[in-house]
Structure 1
Amino acid sequence: MCGLSVEQYRFFGENGYLRVEGLIGNEELQALDRHSMALACNEVDLNGLPVEARNEGTSPADMEDKYFRFIQFHKHLELHERYMLHGRVLDVLAQLIGPDVMAMQSMLFLKPPGQTGQAYHQDSFYIKTFPDTLCGAWIAIDDCDEENGCMGFVAGSNNEPIHQEVGAPENREAFNENLTEIQGVDESREVMAKAKAGDVVFFHGHLIHRSRQNRSADRFRRAYVCHYANARSYTEWGGGNSAHILARGQTHLEYAEPRFVEYDPLA
């Protein structure tokens, strides 16, 4: 059991994020490292699954120019589901959002040098739960800092309502075409979410955040990011509650079973 201190719990409530150092062990991290590079080199049979990439080449030059996002692959690949249901990650989530945890979304990001980032946004704008209990868990596969495009959090914005987003202006750096932008953000409140490989950064669904451009010469910024909510929250997102895994505890709502991992949510 990975127990949080009172100070950590209070910090999350006040600031909307919490970095837990070394939550993913070295051997587990190496497995994620090998898998992500195998995906990038087209060495994993994806059987036609959709992948977002800037090019299809596998030469060293092409590799440096790639940007992959593997979304919802926990429905198709065992490793993605296994890390989505990682025991120590769920231990922390159970303390932050309650003992009943629903696993909803997975995204593997492979961000090469030069790749842009994402606009300011709140995840609960897109993934709505009732009550609103959404929480992200961001597993750092590489060390990440301002140079290679770490996330930036507007500390304390978790205590603000969901803001209306508008189209991103053309003169701002690094916006993903699928995201709109929250305008008028007080950037003086932004905290750079630096992390070491193996750290996990948890962040509230209302937290305003963005990611920066990878300005490094030769460093990837890879991360496996999953979103969760209290399993007793109702959602219509992604097919509704029946499409999402009961990862921990119990619920009165419908839920999905894991597809690959033998797992007891009450264990």
Structure 2
Amino acid sequence: MGKYYVPKSRVRDNRYLVSVKDYSHYHREGYLIVRNLLSKEDIDELYELAEQSRLNSLQLDNQADRDSKDPLKEEFAKATRIHMMSRFSGAAERGMLNPRIVDVTEALVGPDVYALQSMLFLNPPGKGGQGWHQDACYIKTHPDTLIGAWIALEEADEENGCLWVVPGSNHEPIYPPDGVGGGNVHAVDAFEDLNGVQNVSHLDDNVNTLSKVVAKYPPAIPVRLSPGDVLFFHSHLFHRSYPNRTQDRYRRSFVCHYCSARSWVPWDHDGFEGHSGNYRQILVRGNTNLPYAEPAFGTEVYLADGEEESSSVTMMGMDNGMMMPIGTEKGE
């Protein structure tokens, strides 16, 4: 006997509801921009986190102990990005688990959602930028359900290094790059002509051979965002950014990744034991039969209300020859 599964999260105020039009746009074009998704208070907290991180990076630049073993030192010194701040900052955890972000994610790849990764980008003048790449090349999930959320903390445009995307390229497979380990997204030898690529994420298109696949599409478009706007993008989507070309502006942003909590995740940024890192990923919506972590700083998440009394399902033959499920309550 089977059991009905009714995916439904807890009711709460201020929930964001995704339209069918937006759902279709995301799955057709590979991205969705939601304007003013986050409140000024939400953005202010993340901006303050970014500003404090910038000041810390300046202090590190002036320190004599350049040989420190602090694992964050190199990231701070580059003053471009900091990975996994959600594991040591309550503000970053609240940003990654923001219910409005997860509302959209739940509609696009849910109903059960893991929060996997957070990245804080600073991108000072003259720095930053990443060449053409696909996110699922780096973070693999099986089934393949990864999605990114790019949160603007200040104005992002062509001058200070906004993201560029190739609409529709989400329908491409993940091109296996040389030099990036961790397994494959697709079954090995399942494709006749899925050739490898070199120097993925390199800023120089003459070196990054993924640019040859990008060239098959119409020109990429810039994603201009204001504080509080969020770009949701498919993990197969070709995207990139350029270095900040301004002299007096940063490009602060907060970027997170999520996936279905029914996916096996053979990945974790900080390493894991065993065959998967599922037990390190936060269950932020719905339910799962897989291991998961809870928020380290007590940020509220909106999981399923608890399993209802199970109902068995039997199959009955109909007059037209079809088999139809008939639900019967437990104990009948």
Mark yes or no: TM-score above 0.5: yes
In structure 2, relative to structure 1, the CA distance for the partners of 1:168 and 1:72 (3 Å cut) is closer
In structure 2, relative to structure 1, the CA distance for the partners of 1:9 and 1:42 (3 Å cut) is same
| Cα shift at 1:197 | 1.0
Q: Map Cα deviations across residues 124-181 of structure 1 (whole Å, 9 max, x no partner).
A: 01111011000000110011011110111111011111113312698827x9xxxx66
Q: Which amino acid aligns with 1:183?
A: S
Q: Map Cα deviations across residues 214-251 of structure 1 (whole Å, 9 max, x no partner).
A: 11121111110000000001111013100100011100
**Farther off after superposition, 46-55 or 121-130:** 46-55
SS in 2 for 1:124: helix
**Is the 1:246–1:265 Cα contact (8 Å) retained in structure 2?**
no
Q: Within 1, Cα distance between the matches of 2:152 and 2:203?
A: 29
Partner of residue 326, structure 2: none
Mapping of 1:27-106 within 5 angstroms? 27-42=41-56, 48=70, 50-53=72-75, 55=77, 67-106=79-118
**Is the 2:97–2:301 Cα contact (8 Å) retained in structure 1?**
no
TM-score scaled by structure 2?
0.71
Q: Map Cα deviations across residues 188-217 of structure 1 (whole Å, 9 max, x no partner).
A: 331111111110100001111111121112
SS in 2 for 1:7: helix
In structure 2, relative to structure 1, the CA distance for the partners of 1:154 and 1:169 (3 Å cut) is closer
Q: Map Cα deviations across residues 5-45 of structure 1 (whole Å, 9 max, x no partner).
A: 121111111110111001111122112112211111129x9
From 266, 270, 291, the equivalent of 1:254 is 291
SS in 1 for 2:211: coil
From 133, 140, 152, the equivalent of 1:128 is 140
**Is the 1:142–1:222 Cα contact (8 Å) retained in structure 2?**
yes
How many residues are matched?
Answer: 253
| Cα shift at 1:54 | 7.1
Partner of residue 61, structure 1: none
From 197, 200, 207, the equivalent of 2:237 is 207
In structure 2, relative to structure 1, the CA distance for the partners of 1:54 and 1:38 (3 Å cut) is closer
Query: 1:172 aligned to 2:186?
Result: no
Q: Which amino acid aligns with 2:278?
A: N
Query: 1:218 aligned to 2:218?
Result: no
TM-score scaled by structure 1?
0.87
In structure 2, relative to structure 1, the CA distance for the partners of 1:7 and 1:172 (3 Å cut) is same
SS in 2 for 1:226: strand
RMSD: 2.6
From 210, 213, 216, the equivalent of 1:182 is 210
**Is the 1:23–1:89 Cα contact (8 Å) retained in structure 2?**
yes
Partner of residue 16, structure 1: 30
State which structure, 1 or 2, has the greater radius of gyration over its C-alpha atoms: 2
Q: Within 1, Cα distance between the matches of 2:55 and 2:209?
A: 32
- In the alignment, structure 2 segments of 5+ residues that lack a partner are 1-14, 61-68, 177-196, 305-332
Identity %: 43
Q: Which amino acid aligns with 1:226?
A: C
SS in 1 for 2:252: strand
